Structure 1
Amino acid sequence: MEADRRSDRRLAVENKPERNRRPSSTVYIESAYEWGEKLGSGAYGVVFAGTSKHDGREVAIKVIPKERPSSEVDPVDFAAHLEQVRNEIKALVELRDHGDCEAIIPYHGSFETKEKLCIIMDRADGELADVIANGTVKVTEKAAQMILTSVLKGVAFLHEHDYVHRDLKFENLLMMDKNDLSSVVLTDFGLATKTSEAAPGECGTPLYMSPEIWMRNSIAHGPKVDIWAVGIIAYILMCGRHPIKARHLEELKAKVCVDRIELDFKGSGVSNCAQDFVRRLLTADPVARPAAKDALAHPFITGESQRVVHESVVDMLRAYAAEQRLKKGFLLVDAVARMQLLSSNKGGRGSPEILHARIVAQQPATT
């Protein structure tokens, strides 16, 4: 009994993130979890498998060193990344306090030492992009409906509690069960914020940024930016490609804000109901764009479509998914540097990879 109480106390401490905790605090995570194999690594961290000693739950333990991995990594970029990790922890803690949502990755705690940050979440079964690229699931309107229903439920939960994700994208969606399309969950809350606390400026991944973000209007970081991103994801799922062809940021911004994007469904086999759903989500005016709860009530989501999209679209979607997996390794760049690059002749016009890399909103200056 006393051993159980000690274990519970350790778990409680682990679930309360603190800065600059002494290195010996690793005892808490090691006493609570069995560490397993390395699941993957990125530019700034490593993810390990883990198993809870408390209840046997399988988890993923993301470990982020607090020192730059090499001198080649820009210190400003790295500092921005660490701040996003802390921001993700803050968002997940606050959202968890509002109860569970099956469409958001389950979060179990975090801890911080002088050397590293760790975040513990449920272990997903795979990434949606991988599942589609590998041909594990058959792509139909019903499949898209199930995926988008989960995504919108997660978005609705965020918005209900005054949070906006700001970086929803196809390649960031996880599946808790690779054989169950309704198990899709939202992840990567590094840019999530309360609407009242949003920093000014461009923010997100350019290919998913809404007109109001580009134009920096008064509701540039309101909940409707997430709806636009879901619309982009919906089009990709149904047509196998991104709705906008652009070679650089200036061209992308012009097509989104000035020319308005033209949604081409020719040859896709997508039903009129599904087309109407996507068009509504990608309404340029954020006031006219539906809220998440209204999108969930659209006939495309509530109906029983069994239509199969054309095989050519399936092939395109699988190729697109595979391509996005290769682009996930791009480093983060802060908004000031990115906008300087955009306005220069060195990379703004000729760097299509920038369209896939995250823009971090500039924080307000402090006095």
Structure 2
Amino acid sequence: FLIVLFRGAFSEVVLAEEKCTQKLVAIKCIPKKALEGKENSIENEIAVLRKIKHPNIVALEDIFESKSRLYLVMQLVSGGELFDRIVEKGFYTEKDASKLIQQILDAVKYLHDMGIVHRDLKPENLLYYSLDEDSKIMISDFGLSKIEGSGSVMSTACGTPGYVAPEVLAQKPYSKAVDCWSIGVIAYILLCGYPPFYDENDAKLFEQILKAEYEFDSPYWDDISDSAKDFIQHLMEKDPNKRYTCEQALQHPWIAGDTALDKNIHESVSAQIKKNFAKSKWKQAFNATVVVRHMRKLQLGTSQDLPSQLTPTSPCHGELLVSIDDSTGSHCGSCEFCCTQKSQEVTEQNSLSLCSHRCHQSNRV
């Protein structure tokens, strides 16, 4: 059977190799039956992805289509998930968090300048490009993204509870500012390891968000700088008109200056991450980082760092989606022969003759 990097309710992502270059990629396989009634949604996602080319955004490299399936050939990232890396570190500071947020702000500013609103920014959608210590962070999952039209108003309630802006919950028209709120929530979590808003009861959770009620609790925030708290407060501002834009946030001294502290906060933050962000669903799919490590040992990879479509980091994480660039390739109507599920698999020899990508069998790992 195939190496499945992620399996969602309506699709799965498998590991594949481009035949001519031996470059590893991730192919998202979507049955067309699952898209019935949702055609506009997938068309919107692809339209968004075709516009994007940024070093901190996971790229879609090609699209294939067969009679029964749609295939998105995506950049593979192998550095692991954001929370994994923080927990594994022995040393973690405000400066580390500041550098992460700076990359996210830069990428989201790029999206906003392109007229694109992500609408579902959260830690689960932040992946490291490689296993290198200084690896860049990558934004993934554009399933809820939206291109702002001239004169159009966004009002659809969407996103992930805990990260969604007050104006969305209030069912008011909203703008790019919703992404800035989400970045504020992410920054908060990166500095303490727990979310600013939490309640088992959704109604109470939404009430907290609507009122923008959050605290910098002691002792978790005692060693965090006033500058970091000020930065968060400007992003998690209830009034979207007063909320910092990405450009303003990039100019804040906690990002652009030297106010982020060097003190090690790893012990407290990692303990809270492990407590508040369970890995209960991680075992449902392969960890792409482990897959790539094995393939390197077996000399099946390439010499370059290999990226990863990873598994979810929390029980509320949805289906994995990625971003893209406008590159094209040789389209093959028979790709489903090497990307379909178990019952439809054919031999590797046949799949090689029919498709420009070779999907890796699990016995190679």
TM-score, normalised via structure 2 length:
0.70
Match of 1:173 in 2: 126
Q: Check conservation: 1:124, 1:177, Cα contact below 8 A.
A: yes
Contact persistence 2:83–2:273 (CA under 8 A):
no
1:227 paired with 2:193, answer: no
> Residues 105 and 121 of structure 1 are in contact (CA less than 8 Å); yes or no, is this contact kept in structure 2?
yes
Aligned match of 1:203: 158
Amino acid at match of 1:301: I
Would the alpha carbon gap of residues 317 and 327 (structure 1) be closer, same or farther in structure 2, given more than 3 Å must change?
same
Decide whether the 8 Å contact of 1:131 with 1:137 is kept in 2: no
Return the match for 2:246 from 280, 285, 292: 292
Q: Give the distance between the partners of 2:10 and 2:79, measured in 1 at CA.
A: 20
RMSD: 3.0
Amino acid at match of 2:6: G
Unaligned runs of 5+ in 1: 1-34, 69-77, 330-353, 359-367
Give the Å deviation of 1:84. Answer: 3.8
- Equivalent-residue separation in structure 2 for 1:214 and 1:324 (angstroms): 27
SS at match of 2:33: coil
Range with bigger deviation, 52-61 or 291-300: 52-61
The answer to whether structure 1 residue 65 and structure 2 residue 31 are counterparts is: yes
**Which string of whole-angstrom CA distances, capped at 9 and with x for unpartnered residues, describes residues 168-223 of structure 1?**
111111111133455111111011111235653311112111011112223x1x11
- Look up the match of 1:45: 11
1:316 correspondence with 2:272: yes
Is residue 215 from structure 1 mapped to residue 170 from structure 2 by the alignment? yes
Aligned residue number for residue 240 of structure 1: 193
Q: Which deviations, in whole Å up to 9, do the C-alpha atoms of 1:266-302 show, x marking residues without a partner?
A: 2232111111111111011111111111111111112
Whole-Å Cα distance in 1 between the matches of residues 148 and 47 of structure 2?
A: 14
Query: Which structure has the highest helix share of the two?
Result: 1
Identity %: 30
2:231 to 277, 280, 303: 277
Equivalents in 2 of 1:324, 1:139: separation in Å? 25
Is the alpha carbon distance of 1:205 and 1:355 closer, same or farther for their aligned partners in structure 2, counting shifts above 3 Å?
Answer: farther
For the Cα contact (< 8 Å) 1:64–1:117, is it kept in 2?
Answer: yes
1:266 to 214, 218, 243: 218
Cα 1:43–1:133 change in 2 (3 A) is farther
Q: Are the structure 2 counterparts of residues 327 and 234 from structure 1 closer, same or farther at C-alpha, using a change threshold of 3 Å?
A: farther
Q: How far, CA to CA, are the matches of 1:166 and 1:327 in structure 2?
A: 27
Corresponding residue pairs, total: 285
Match of 1:107 among 51, 60, 64: 60
Give the SS at the match of 2:72. Answer: strand
